[in-house]
Structures are given as structure tokens and as C-alpha cells.
Amino acid sequence: FGGLVFNIGNIAGCGLGLQALLGISVVNGSILSALMAIAIFIIKEAGKAMDRFAQALGFVMIIAIIYIAFSSSPPYAEAAYRTIIPAKVDLMTIVTLVGGTVGGYITFSGGHRLLDAGIKGKNSLPEINRSAVMGISIASLVRIFLFLASLGVVAKGLIIDQGNPTASVFQLSAGNIGYKLFGLVMFSAAITSVIGSAYTSVSFIKSFSPSIVKHENRYIIAFIVVSTITFVLIGKPVNLLILAGAVNGFILPITLTAILFAAYKTRIVGDYKHPLILTLFGALVVVIMTYMSGTVLFDMLIK
């Protein structure tokens, strides 16, 4: 469920990106993006194509975001200070950001791709750890630079358009070039997430039937089609992106708890010994995110 909700939001993000980049409607942009994602899985070597596609777009996205962050000239000292001593703690923002980064299906996505690529077992731990650390580090850096870009715009007293806030930040930072860069960044992030979300969501159900294993790419394509149709019918791309992050934030404590329990099941991990420090930190994250998610959900229900 989390993968589907997230993918609908990703499709919406693709539409927003192509709207800025090409000047087409959000709906047409989302449909065009879905067709591009489907094309990846029509290719015979879909796994390799998916990896190369994600790497190329990821590189472009990081360069563009760093450029915008420096263009907005944010108050770095204030940002560092408020990172440690925030003026206000917004739980909804935290749950949405954490959920959109490592929540829901994302908890498993890297592991599934590594397994399908044949990277498994204790001997592969160094490569697995390197992949995990690099993935979360890059994702975190992207969010830091996006925050700095937004802070620079707000610090100048400029007004961010609530209809498409990220696009507004890019445009206010670097004019029309910034707006086009937003389109490129948004599309790059969203299309790679569409591919990753669809791939991982279907990999969850592969064990249900030999038919799914045999026709995996067809199921992935169907997942993308359903996500796209749902977005076209619902609309509201910005709201869907926020909802996707929030929902995956709610799911994170559940998925992380399952992983922590699995780490001590010998029939799953064999003679692997999970480090106690990682278990303790994992349990702490579960407790904190359960509290935050529960508080946000309660506030949403009583409004």
C-alpha cells in the first residue's frame, strides 16, 4: 500500500517536473513519464538499464540542486544554529521528510535490488554497507541543499508560491534558468522513484506465484499504469507528494520493526550476528517515529 501511495505521488512529481521543463500540463507530463518508465521495463536487460538510468539522472540532479543552493545565498550560520536549536519543531514536516526519504517501501528497496543483482551473504556485507551508506548520504545531502535554497529565498523576504513551492524556490533563486533546473531535478527524482517503487512493490509479491516471477516486468508495468490512472483521476500533485511522504512516515516504524525482528531469526540470516548498537538505535528510531506519526495522525483526525 505504501509503495502504491508513494508511486502515485511520484507520478505527480514527474508531471510537475515536465510542466516546468517543457511547458506541458501536469497530466500530460505524468502520462509521458509513465510511458518512459514503462519503456525501461520493456528492455530485455531491465535491471541494468534501470541502474544506469538512475545513476545518470542522480548525478544531474545533485549538480543542479547544489547550484541553486549557492545561488540563493542562504544564511549558513543561522541554518547551522537552528539545526541544533530549532525555533519550532514541526512533527508533520519531520514525518513527511523522513517518510519520503527512508519510509514505507524505501526501507526494502535497496535490499531487493541487491538480492536480484546477486549480491548477498556475509561476504557481500562490505559492498552492502557501502551501498546503504552512499544511498542515504546522497539522499540527505540533496535535502540539505534543497533546504538551504529555500532558506535563502525566505531570508530575502521573497514569497514562495504554495501551488508549487519547490519550483518557486528555484525560480526565485536563479530566474527562468532556475525554473527549468527545477523541472529537470523534479523529473529526475520522480522518474527514478517511479521505477524504484514499482520494482520494489512487485518484488514483495513475487513469492506468491510462479506467474509473477515469470512475468515480473508485466506486473511492474501494470503497477505504473494503475498509479498513473489514479493520479490522473485525483489530480492535486503537490498534496499527493506530501501525502505520500506522510503515509510512508507512518509505515516506517512497522517496516523497521519487522527488519529488526528478522535480523535475529536464524532461518533468515543464518549465523549472521546483528550488531547490538544497530539494534538499539533501530529500536530508538521505532519509538520516536511511532510517537511522531501517532501525534500527527491524531492531530489530522481531530481537525
Mean pLDDT (10-residue bins), the chain, 303 residues: 75 87 89 90 70 74 81 85 85 77 65 72 80 79 83 81 77 83 83 82 78 83 91 73 68 84 86 88 90 79 70
- Which residues span the domain enclosing 67? 2-302
Cα within 13 Å of Cα(38), Cβ side: 17
The b/e string for 121-146 (b: 16+ C-beta within 10 A; e otherwise) is: eeeeeeebeebeeeeeeebeebeebb
The pLDDT assigned to 280 comes to: 95
Cell match 533563486: residue?
Answer: 173
Residue entry with cell 528555484: 170
Give the Cα separation of 28 and 284 in Å (integer): 43
Task: Tell me whether residue 90 is exposed, middle or buried, using C-beta atoms within 10 angstroms of its C-beta: 0 to 12, 13 to 18, 19 or more.
Answer: exposed
156-163 own/partner pairs: CB under 8 Å, 24+ apart? 156/72, 162/238, 163/238
- Are the CB atoms for 17 and 192 separated by under 8 Å? no
Cα 88 to Cα 21, 81, 85, 141, 244: the distances in Å are: 35, 13, 9, 22, 23
- Angle, in degrees to the nearest 10, between helices 46-71 and 125-155: 30
How confident is the model over 162-177, as pLDDT tens digits? Answer: 767 778 888 888 888 8
The full DSSP string for 82-102 is HHHS-S---HHHHHHHHHHHH
Q: What Å distances lie between residue 28 and 187, 278, 285, 287, CA to CA?
A: 13, 45, 39, 42
Cβ contacts of residue 130 below 8 Å, gap of 6+? none
Measured at the CA of 261, the angle between CA 4 and CA 258, to 5 degrees, comes to 10
The size of the chain, in residues, is 303
**What's the CATH code of the domain at 115?**
1.20.1740.10
Integer Cα distance of 225 and 255 in angstroms:
26
Structurally, how many domains does the chain consist of?
1
Q: What is the pLDDT of residue 102?
A: 72
Whether the model clears a pTM of 0.95, i.e. scores above it, the answer is no
Residue 272: partners with Cβ closer than 8 Å, 6 or more residues away: 122, 263
Q: What is the pLDDT of residues 187-205, one digit of tens each?
A: 888 888 888 888 888 877 7
